[in-house]
Amino acid sequence: DAKLQSVLSCLSQLGRQLDPLPSMTAPDANCIKLNTNENPFALPSPVMQSAVAALERQYLYPENDNIGLREAAAKAYDLSRDQVIAGNGSSELLGLIYRAFLAPGDTVAMMSPGFSFNRKLAALQDAKFLEIGCGELQSLPIEQLLFGPAKDAKFILLANPNNPTGTFVPIADIERLVAQSDRLIVVDEAYVDFAPDSALRLINRYSNLLLLRTFSKSYATAGIRVGFGLGHPEIIGRLRNIQNVFNMNVISHAVGVSIFSHRPAYEENHKHIRDERERVSATLTQLGFSVTPSQANFLLARVPAGRDGIWWQTSLERKKILVAVFPDKGLKDCIRVSIGTKAQMDAFFEAVNDILRAES
């Protein structure tokens, strides 16, 4: 069609390195979703009430500049409001960082294997995406990051705990990297509430550290979209400057503020997930899987010899259980399983047992 060709010829070259999006089928509501690291529990009731109350303000634009939410975050993290940017999920903030720091041809370095969305964001800037392999145990390759090919990177990104491995690097290692580097170090702490420590205490000491937080996992709001960036006011200011107006909605604001007032209500939730993580790890090990020690709300497990990760994913999906696989990250023999409720994990074990029985 000539009109379509004419319109397509006006597209900019942005994203030309990207593959077309795969066509997806609508998710089956009967499946147990253990593939995207969501938190399976309901919101504490005061947080839920704040969401419902926010609906009554649906005819108004949300507050400018996310002021109230940023103030609540600043108070909770013992920072100033200027050190906080609020996002429609932390993925919005990742996008801003890539846009702010990368021109075509620039390089960004990320610890690998890491969160795939970063590769796409680099491609959207026509930037080089340098993956620094960290081996199975994910120790921080400080020398390589400071003096290897990553030394020219405009910023360095790592997630702690990391996705998809769940591994955690000590904050002392992160401090050594931040102290020795003159580049921005972005530490994505999406899973930090399931881990023993955080780099938050370094924020006021190092202007080149930027932390990302999200409420999607530990505060059970993946569908509501609340995330934060914490860092030096000048860097945060530059990011806020290129952000969309009204990037968040009245419900995200209200829920975000309310969560900061009700964090103790989540302690049981987090304890359940940590305890269940250890139970799932022990059970999978007994069943012949080899599990990477995790400080997140998911486990990376190498499947028993003979079949690969995709085979397990397909076999589990037939039993209405969804898990994630990463064949393109050198993990073709692994599956990643999110930690759900006890009942969900029991259903997962039953499916795994059935599959193993049918194989033997």
- Interface ranges with ligand PMP (CB under 6 A): 37, 89-91, 115, 159, 163, 188, 190, 214, 216, 222, 227
Comparison of 50 and 162: residue with beta carbon closer to ligand PMP: 162
Where are the extended beta strands (E) located within the chain?
Answer: 32-33, 84-87, 107-112, 128-133, 155-159, 184-188, 209-214, 227-230, 290-291, 298-302, 321-322, 324-326, 331-338
Comparison of 339 and 351: residue with beta carbon closer to ligand PMP: 339
> Least distance to ligand PMP from the beta carbon of 288, Å?
27
Closest residue by Cα to residue 111 from 144, 66, 65:
144
Contact 295, 194 (CB under 8 A): yes
> Least distance to ligand PMP from the beta carbon of 92, Å?
7
| Token pair in block for residue 57 | 């303000």
> Least distance to ligand PMP from the beta carbon of 256, Å?
12
> Least distance to ligand PMP from the beta carbon of 359, Å?
31
Comparison of 194 and 352: residue with beta carbon closer to ligand PMP: 194
Residue number, nearest CB to ligand PMP = 89
Helix (H) or strand (E) holding 180: helix 171-180
Comparison of 97 and 178: residue with beta carbon closer to ligand PMP: 97
> Least distance to ligand PMP from the beta carbon of 118, Å?
8
Comparison of 190 and 334: residue with beta carbon closer to ligand PMP: 190
Comparison of 230 and 351: residue with beta carbon closer to ligand PMP: 230
First to last CA, the chain: 56
Q: Are strands 32-33 and 321-322 parallel, antiparallel or unpaired?
A: parallel
| Token pair in block for residue 291 | 């599990």
Query: DSSP per residue over 209-221, as a string?
Result: EEEEEESTTTTS-
> Least distance to ligand PMP from the beta carbon of 327, Å?
18
